[in-house]
Chain A
Amino acid sequence: MSTSPTKMERYWKKNLQTLAILLSFWFLVSFGFGIIWVEELNTIRLGGFKLGFWFAQQGSIYTFVLLIFIYVYRMNALDREFNVNED
């Protein structure tokens, strides 16, 4: 009974760390590359695209999808590690 709360706290802390890392990428590709630094990135080209424009209309969306699947994978592993998974 006495060890469970700390285990729970460690699980929650790792969860929050995962969120912080993934959300910083979420912020970087959309608000960062797509808006704040768009003009700087537009000087670089990606095929027929200006890079900043590509992030704003394509790249950020691909990254979002990727981030959710990384989250799913990471959390499933974390759930198993702390034995809080559902099966």
Chain B
Amino acid sequence: MDLLTWTYLLVGVTFTLYIGIAIWSRAGSTQEFYVAGGGVSPLANGLATAADWMSAASFMSMAGIISFSGYDGSVYLMGWTGGYVLLALLLAPYLRKFGKFTVPDFVGDRFYSNKARVVAVICALFISFTYVAGQMRGVGIVFSRYLELPIEWGVVIGMAIVFFYAVLGGMKGITYTQVAQYCVLIFAYLVPAIFISMQLTGNPIPQLGLGGEVADGVPLLDKLDGILVDLGFEEYTSGKKSIPDLFMITLALMVGTAGLPHVIVRFFTVPKVRDARLSAGYALAFIAILYTAAPAVAAFGIYNTIQSTSEKSINDLPSWVTNWQQTNLIGIEDKNGDGKIQYLADPTTNELRIDKDIMVLASPEIAALPNWVVGLVAAGAMAAALSTAAGLLLVISTSISRDLFKTFQPEISDKKELRIARIAAAGAVLLAGYFGINPPGFVAEVVAFAFGLAASSFFPVILLGIFSTRINKEGAIAGMIAGLVFTISYISYFKFISPELNTAAHWWWGISPEGIGSLGMALNFVVCYGVSYLTPAPPKEVQQLIQEIRIPKGAGKAIDH
């Protein structure tokens, strides 16, 4: 079968599977819609969390980013996994014990204030919209590259699928489709990685192949260092970024990960506190399978690309180069007219332009794998984008129906609330689709925003809300606003207002906008503490609530206050 048939077949089969699961696991009540009835097993929740977390960017772009930045790319690997340690140890078990449905729920109740709740809702909506637009775009791109459809059509089909299972199934439908999507995406990621690892190093495990030796007996990474230095680049295994900047970016990504509402909310779906802890462990283990394979895919990809193009005759290139040239992900310009490609660090003499997404999307072709593997990668990329989009849409719809409508109109019935949640989810799908078709020019830049905001707004107040009984509503509101305003201002200044000044020389203490969320977080902590100590302590019943969420055992039964 040819490539296009395989791709249609595999994408079609997986989509049918997702829709079937959605029909089977329809949500009947708000509890099922918001948290899947709280009855998801830790293993299923771990799988779902992993799929929810790994987005189109993790699947398609992360390896490519590492390919071109080498050691500096480690910030994403450590940042996007280390956050789960914080989540598992500091947040998830306590939020599960708290036992409601959303992050603004916790902020509103713990800080006994609807103002705090509204600030939290605004943060949650902003973070989620930022993220979801990128996912829809990802679906469109995969459709256009593999299925030869216009991007617009791809986005519309993606919207229809997500609409179907997110609007109908709520958290329950999403959870079980995400379990299936994890299986699809991890299989699709590992198959080409294993084949390429075998071809290059003879070791079938990519994580070990990365440390393996290429044909002439030299370790792959040393070989890569040498090749890149010859072409005028930095060594692959050492970076360009300063230590303080690496430190702050990693911290911002870790803390941001732990503060992302669509990840936190997944831990409300398991039956017990013990399950919340365990499922965080499963989630990270499943995520780690992809995240430890990604640096291998990255190194194999850049090595293969250079080997098969550098100083090679333009008329005699492998077919994958010419294939991807048509989609404009590879560009060749013979500047010195010698009929050969020079891939060099110096932009004035470099003749090869490679998009970062190539490293994953073209990997099956680079390794000359059969057509079904190419179709599989398309289905995997789609699974990654759809699962994340669905999780985000749920946060958006829950924020609107529960945190806004229900809070201010507590008398509405369960049925009406469920209807509002579905309408909100439908509206969010449409809006996300609109941004997918007409992406705002700043999509790439807003990623820094999403993590920076999660780090500087949610993480500190949730953490202090659990680990301190003295923090009150004044402190929490002041802290969140201080962290947010500082982080938004710093990122906006360097990304939108004066992008020409966005260099290390102008940054405060050498911290790039990507890492500034760490400072925003510190500011939030300081303001939150300071203001709390200058204002009255929280009321007795709130202090009691904190004591209760600190122990797993059922509400107040074992503990006398």
User: Given A26-B82, A65-B284, A67-B85, are A35 and B547 neighbors across the interface (CB < 8 Å)?
Assistant: no
Interchain CB contact under 8 A, B85 and A68: yes
Interchain CB contact under 8 A, A56 and B78: yes
Interchain CB contact under 8 A, A62 and B292: yes
Interface centre among B90, B211, B292 (most CB of A within 10 A): B211
Residues of B near A38 (CB, < 8 A) are 71
User: Does B424 sit at the interface, judged by CB under 8 A?
Assistant: no
Q: For B299, give the chain A residue with the smallest CB separation.
A: A57
Q: For B42, give the chain A residue with the smallest CB separation.
A: A72
User: Does A17 sit at the interface, judged by CB under 8 A?
Assistant: no
Q: How large is the interface on B (under 10, 10 to 19, 20 to 34, 35 or more residues)?
A: 35 or more
A interface secondary structure, majority: helix
Instruction: Give B233-264 interface residues, CB cut-off 8 Å to A.
Output: 237-238, 243, 246-247, 250-251, 254
Q: For B211, give the chain A residue with the smallest CB separation.
A: A48
Residues of A near B237 (CB, < 8 A) are 42, 50, 53
Tell me the minimal C-beta distance from B486 to chain A in angstroms. Answer: 22
Residues of A near B74 (CB, < 8 A) are 34, 53, 56-57
Interchain CB contact under 8 A, A58 and B210: yes
A67 CA to B416 CA, complexed, in Å: 44
Tell me the minimal C-beta distance from A50 to chain B in angstroms. Answer: 5
User: Given A49-B211, A50-B221, are A64 and B274 neighbors across the interface (CB < 8 Å)?
Assistant: no
User: Does B331 sit at the interface, judged by CB under 8 A?
Assistant: no
Interchain CB contact under 8 A, B211 and A47: yes
Residues of A near B554 (CB, < 8 A) are 86
Q: Give the number of residue pairs across the A-B interface with Cβ within 8 Å.
A: 146
Give the residue of A12, A57, A69, A79 whose beta carbon is less than 8 angstroms from that of B274.
Answer: A79
Tell me the minimal C-beta distance from A18 to chain B in angstroms. Answer: 8
Interface string of A21-35 (1 = CB under 8 A from B): 011001000110011
Give the residue of B251, B278, B280, B288 whose beta carbon is less than 8 angstroms from that of A61.
Answer: B288
Instruction: Give B460-489 interface residues, CB cut-off 8 Å to A.
Output: none
User: Does B447 sit at the interface, judged by CB under 8 A?
Assistant: no
Tell me the minimal C-beta distance from A40 to chain B in angstroms. Answer: 12
A-side interface residues, number (CB < 8 Å): 46
A79 CA to B126 CA, complexed, in Å: 38
Interface string of B67-97 (1 = CB under 8 A from A): 0000101100110011011101110010000
Interchain CB contact under 8 A, B247 and A53: no
Interchain CB contact under 8 A, B71 and A64: no
Residues of A near B220 (CB, < 8 A) are 48
User: Does B202 sit at the interface, judged by CB under 8 A?
Assistant: no
Interface centre among A19, A22, A34, A36 (most CB of B within 10 A): A34
Interchain CB contact under 8 A, B277 and A61: no
A86 CA to B277 CA, complexed, in Å: 13
User: Given A64-B288, A85-B552, are A76 and B274 neighbors across the interface (CB < 8 Å)?
Assistant: yes
Tell me the minimal C-beta distance from B358 to chain A in angstroms. Answer: 20
Residues of B near A5 (CB, < 8 A) are 560-561
User: Does B227 sit at the interface, judged by CB under 8 A?
Assistant: no
User: Does B335 sit at the interface, judged by CB under 8 A?
Assistant: no
Interface string of B319-338 (1 = CB under 8 A from A): 00000000000000000000
Tell me the minimal C-beta distance from A28 to chain B in angstroms. Answer: 12
Tell me the minimal C-beta distance from B377 to chain A in angstroms. Answer: 22
Residues of B near A64 (CB, < 8 A) are 81-82, 84-85, 284, 288
Interchain CB contact under 8 A, A68 and B84: yes
A35 CA to B243 CA, complexed, in Å: 7
Interchain CB contact under 8 A, B551 and A84: yes
A65 CA to B284 CA, complexed, in Å: 6
Q: For B212, give the chain A residue with the smallest CB separation.
A: A48
A53 CA to B295 CA, complexed, in Å: 11
* Interface, chain B (partner A; CB < 8 A): 66, 71, 73-74, 77-78, 81-82, 84-86, 88-90, 93, 207, 210-213, 219-222, 237-238, 243, 246-247, 250-251, 254, 272-274, 277-278, 280-281, 284-285, 288, 291-292, 295, 547, 550-554, 558-561
**Cβ-closest 7 pairs across A and B:** A48-B219, A56-B74, A48-B211, A68-B281, A57-B295, A84-B551, A84-B553
